[in-house]
């Protein structure tokens, strides 16, 4: 059997491809762990300067595979099992996407539901087909949202629209998601692959240290005061100003040319 997730690192881009189209690319606990471990490894070994998450088939991801997550119906779980399990599975995946000091691009066509929707929301840039469908199906199934939905959505689209998606379970298209500011951009399905590749290439060619530190500051500032945010900016400025890319950027400015960043 083919692996449900494919990984490759080419041209300093880690490409993660969900490859289980027969199940709408739903994610099993094993697949989630594999994605998390791969991203963490790349973050530690400097083998990539950007990450692209995409999928094979007509749909991006229909969420967590509930059947696979409850594979043993005869075994009664201990109290709190779901809370403990979610923290190290779906929630850890969202953590690592937002924490990694590399830009993450997500390419979405078809359905992005549940955990699949949250992956798209957590990415730094999500490019979707205009005809894609984003859906938070939790309340419609009788349970509450997870994987950061109640944190991500209000910050991206505001409280009123977040409630529309989470409490009413409304489905929205890629075009509407872009209009709401929920994702970076919506394009025609024919242009999706090219648009995502162009964006991830631009990020991978950028000053990796500065991009990563800026991402860290943006996420950190969401829960801090202005003074605390500026203190973190000062530290990031100190670190980025010691990078080779900073020196290249200054040289390019003086010489009136386009900088050639090496990610160091």
The sheet that has 185-187: what strands, in order across it? 5-10, 13-18, 50-55, 104-108, 125-129, 185-187
User: What stretches of 23-63 show up as alpha helix (H) in DSSP?
Assistant: 29-45
pLDDT of residue 133 exceeding 80:
yes
Element at 227 (helix H, strand E): helix 226-240
Phi/psi of residue 35, each to 5°? Answer: -65, -45
User: Where are the domain boundaries for CATH 3.90.226.10 in the chain?
Assistant: 5-204
Per-residue pLDDT tens for 71-110? 555 666 665 556 566 656 788 999 999 999 999 999 999 9
Complete DSSP assignment for 88-110: HTHHHHHHHHHHSSS-EEEEE-S
Q: How confident is the model at residue 27 (pLDDT cuts 50, 70, 90)?
A: very high
- Give the CATH class of 5-204: alpha beta
**Cα(251)–Cα(214) distance, integer angstroms:** 21
- Write down the pLDDT at residue 90: 84
Strands 50-55 and 104-108, sheet pairing: parallel
User: Where are the domain boundaries for CATH 1.10.12 in the chain?
Assistant: 208-255
Q: For the whole model, what pTM was predicted?
A: 0.90
Averaged confidence pLDDT in the chain: 91
Of 24, 26, 6, which Cα lies nearest the Cα of 14?
A: 6
- Write down the pLDDT at residue 82: 61
User: What stretches of 103-173 show up as alpha helix (H) in DSSP?
Assistant: 115-122, 149-157, 159-166
Do residues 34 and 84 touch, judged by C-beta distance below 8 A? no
Positions of E strands within 100-239: 104-108, 111-113, 125-129, 133-135, 172-173, 185-187
Q: How confident is the model at residue 209 (pLDDT cuts 50, 70, 90)?
A: very high
- Write down the pLDDT at residue 130: 98
Q: How confident is the model at residue 22 (pLDDT cuts 50, 70, 90)?
A: very high
- Write down the pLDDT at residue 86: 62
Q: Report the CATH architecture of 208-255.
A: Orthogonal Bundle (1.10)
**Cα(181)–Cα(123) distance, integer angstroms:** 13
Do residues 148 and 122 touch, judged by C-beta distance below 8 A? yes
Q: What percent of the chain has pLDDT over 70?
A: 91
CB contact burial 225-256 (16+ within 10 A = b; e otherwise): eeeebeebeeebeeebeebebbebbeeeeeee
Tokens standing for 209?
Answer: 């240290």
């Amino acid at each position: 059997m083919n692996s449900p997730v494919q990984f490759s690192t080419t041209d300093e881009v880690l490409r993660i491809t969900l490859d289980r189209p027969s199940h709408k690319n739903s994610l099993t606990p094993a697949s989630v762990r594999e994605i998390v471990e791969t991203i963490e490894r790349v973050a530690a070994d400097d083998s990539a300067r950007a990450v692209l998450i995409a999928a094979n088939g007509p749909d991006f991801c229909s969420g967590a595979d509930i059947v696979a997550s409850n594979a043993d119906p005869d075994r009664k779980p201990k109290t709190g099992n779901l809370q403990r399990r979610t923290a190290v599975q779906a929630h850890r995946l969202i953590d690592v996407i937002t924490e990694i000091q590399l830009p993450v691009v997500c390419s979405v066509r078809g359905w992005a539901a549940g955990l699949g929707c949250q992956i798209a929301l957590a990415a730094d840039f999500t490019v979707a087909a205009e005809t894609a469908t984003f859906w938070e199906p939790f309340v419609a199934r009788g349970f509450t949202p997870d994987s950061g939905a109640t944190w991500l959505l209000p910050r991206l689209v505001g409280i009123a629209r977040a409630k529309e998606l989470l409490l009413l379970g409304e489905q929205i298209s890629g075009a509407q998601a872009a209009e709401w500011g929920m994702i970076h951009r919506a394009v025609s399905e024919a242009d999706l692959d090219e648009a995502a590749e162009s964006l991830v290439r631009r990020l991978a060619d950028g000053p990796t240290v500065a991009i990563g530190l800026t991402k860290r500051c943006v996420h950190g500032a969401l829960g801090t005061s202005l003074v605390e945010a500026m203190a973190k900016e000062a530290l990031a400025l100190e670190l980025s100003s010691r990078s080779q890319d900073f020196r290249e950027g200054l040289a390019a400015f003086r010489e009136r040319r386009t900088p050639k960043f090496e990610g160091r």
